[in-house]
C-alpha cells in the first residue's frame, strides 16, 4: 500500500457546495498554527464518514473505572454505542479493579440508524456496521484518586506498546464519568487531538490552572500556553498518543521523585506537552461539556459531557 497523505473521496458522493466566504463567524475555527478547531457547522459528517470508511481505520478508546467509578460505566458504554464512531471499527478497553462489576452492555446489537441518516439515504444501511468490541483489563486500585487519574498515562503507554502497529489506527482516552449525547465521529480524527476545557475557553491564559511552580516538569510560565486542554479527552494516531503518554508518565514520575505533584496531575502534564507539540486538530468544548454548566450560544450541540458527581462519595479519599 502506498503512503498517501491526502483524503480520497468517492466521486459519486454529492454534498452541499463548500464556501471560503461563508461559515461560522461566531467562533474561531482555526488555530494560529493552522489546525482546525472543530465546531458544529464546520464539517460535513457524511463526506468525512465516506472518506474515512475508504481508509479502513480502527478506533480504540480507553476508559478507566477504578473503585466506585465502575458505576459510571453503564451509561458511558451505552451512549458510546449510540454516538461514538457509529459505523466504524471501535474497540473499547476498560481498565478496572472490579471486573465482575462491568455491566453487560449490549455492544454491537443493532447500532441505531437515526432518522436524519435515513432521510439522507446513507450508504451505511446496505453494509452492516462492524461490531464494536470491548476488552476488560484488570488494574490495581489505589487509595489516592490523584494516583488513579495520573497512572492512566502509564497504562495507556503499555497498552499502546502491546497493540499491533496500525498506520490507520487512532485512539481516544476518555473520562468514564461522562456520557455521549450526540455524534462524536470521524471529524475528530487527527494525528494529535486535544479538547478545549469547557470551563476556561472564554478566559485569558493568566487564569488557566496550569502548573505554575517552575520545579515541576509541567510548568508553564506566564505568557505561555495556547488553550486550557482537558485531561478527560484526548487522542490521535496510536504512535502519537503513545509518545504523549510516555512523556507525561515520565515527567509525572520524575516530579514524584522530586516530591512534587502537578496541580492537576496528568492534565497539567498534558497541557505542557500540547504547548510544545501542537495538536493537529483541536476539538471545541462540544466534545467535553459539563452537565452542571448551562449551554452557551456558540455551543450548538453537546456531544460528550461530564456527569455531576459527588466527589466525597465516589473517591477513595
Ligand atoms: C479532571 C479531568 C481528568 C483529570 C483530573 C486531574 C476532565 C473532564 N477531567 O477531572 O481527566 O485530568 O482532572 O487528575 O477534564 N478515576 C477512577 N477512579 C477514581 C478516580 C478517578 O476510575 O477513584 C478515573 C476515572 O476514569 C475518571 C478519571 O480517573 O473519569 C479522572 O478522575 P476524576 O473524574 O475524578 O477527575 P476530575 O473530575 O477532577
For the CA of 264, the closest atom of ligand 1 is 6
Nearest CA, atom 7, ligand 1: 232
Nearest-angstrom CA–CA distance, 207 and 162: 39
Per-residue pLDDT tens over the stretch 254-310: 999 999 999 999 999 999 999 999 999 999 999 999 999 999 999 999 999 999 988
User: CB within 6 Å of ligand 1 — which residues?
Assistant: 64-67, 69, 145, 148-149, 175-177, 230-232, 264-267, 288, 306, 315-316
Q: Would you call 266 a catalytic residue per the annotation?
A: no
pLDDT of residue 105: 84
Whole-number Å distance, alpha carbon 263 to ligand 1 midpoint, is: 13
Q: What is the pTM of this model?
A: 0.92
Which of 71, 155, 232, 308 best tests ligand 1's pocket when mutated (most atoms within 8 Å of CB)?
A: 232
Strands 89-96 and 133-138, by their bridges, are: parallel
Q: Catalytic: which of 211, 267, 298, 313?
A: 267
Per-residue pLDDT tens over the stretch 115-162: 333 444 444 444 555 666 999 999 999 888 888 988 999 999 999 999
Whole-number Å distance, alpha carbon 305 to ligand 1 midpoint, is: 13
Q: What is the ipTM of this complex?
A: 0.95
In this structure, the number of other CB atoms found within 10 A of the CB of residue 212 comes to 15
Whole-number Å distance, alpha carbon 314 to ligand 1 midpoint, is: 11
DSSP 283: E
Q: Mean pLDDT lowest for which of 9-13, 26-30, 168-172, 296-300?
A: 9-13
Full DSSP string of 133-187: EEEEEE----S-HHHHHHHHHHHHHHHHHHSPP-TTEEEEEE-SSEEE-S-B-GG
Amino acid at each position: 500500500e502506498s503512503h498517501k497523505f491526502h483524503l480520497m473521496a468517492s466521486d459519486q458522493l454529492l454534498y452541499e457546495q463548500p464556501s471560503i466566504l461563508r461559515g461560522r463567524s461566531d467562533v474561531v475555527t482555526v488555530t494560529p498554527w493552522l489546525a482546525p478547531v472543530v465546531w458544529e457547522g464546520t464539517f460535513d459528517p457524511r463526506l468525512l464518514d465516506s472518506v474515512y470508511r475508504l481508509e479502513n481505520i480502527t478506533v480504540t478508546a480507553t476508559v478507566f473505572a477504578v473503585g466506585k467509578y465502575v458505576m459510571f460505566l453503564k451509561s458511558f458504554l451505552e451512549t458510546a454505542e449510540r454516538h461514538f464512531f457509529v459505523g466504524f471499527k471501535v474497540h473499547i478497553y476498560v481498565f478496572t479493579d472490579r471486573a465482575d462489576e462491568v455491566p453487560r452492555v449490549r455492544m454491537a446489537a443493532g447500532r441505531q440508524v437515526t432518522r436524519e441518516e435515513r432521510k439522507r439515504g446513507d450508504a451505511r444501511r446496505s453494509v452492516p456496521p462492524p461490531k464494536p468490541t470491548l476488552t476488560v483489563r484488570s488494574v490495581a486500585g489505589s487509595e489516592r484518586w490523584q494516583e488513579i487519574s495520573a497512572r492512566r498515562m502509564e497504562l495507556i503507554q503499555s497498552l499502546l506498546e502491546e497493540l499491533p502497529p496500525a498506520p490507520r489506527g487512532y485512539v481516544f482516552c476518555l473520562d468514564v464519568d461522562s456520557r455521549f449525547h450526540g455524534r462524536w465521529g470521524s471529524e475528530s480524527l487527527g494525528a494529535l487531538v486535544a479538547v478545549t476545557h469547557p470551563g476556561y475557553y472564554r478566559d485569558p491564559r493568566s487564569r488557566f490552572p496550569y502548573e505554575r511552580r517552575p520545579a515541576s516538569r509541567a510548568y508553564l510560565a506566564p505568557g505561555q500556553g495556547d488553550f486550557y486542554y482537558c485531561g478527560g479527552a484526548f487522542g490521535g494516531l496510536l504512535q502519537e498518543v503513545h509518545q504523549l503518554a510516555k512523556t507525561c508518565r515520565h515527567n509525572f514520575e520524575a516530579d514524584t521523585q522530586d516530591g512534587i505533584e502537578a496541580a492537576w496531575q496528568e492534565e497539567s502534564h498534558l497541557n505542557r506537552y500540547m504547548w510544545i507539540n501542537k495538536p493537529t486538530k483541536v476539538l471545541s468544548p462540544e466534545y467535553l461539556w459539563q452537565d452542571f454548566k448551562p449551554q452557551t450560544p456558540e455551543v450548538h450541540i453537546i456531544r460528550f459531557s461530564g456527569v455531576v458527581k459527588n466527589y466525597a462519595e465516589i473517591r477513595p479519599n
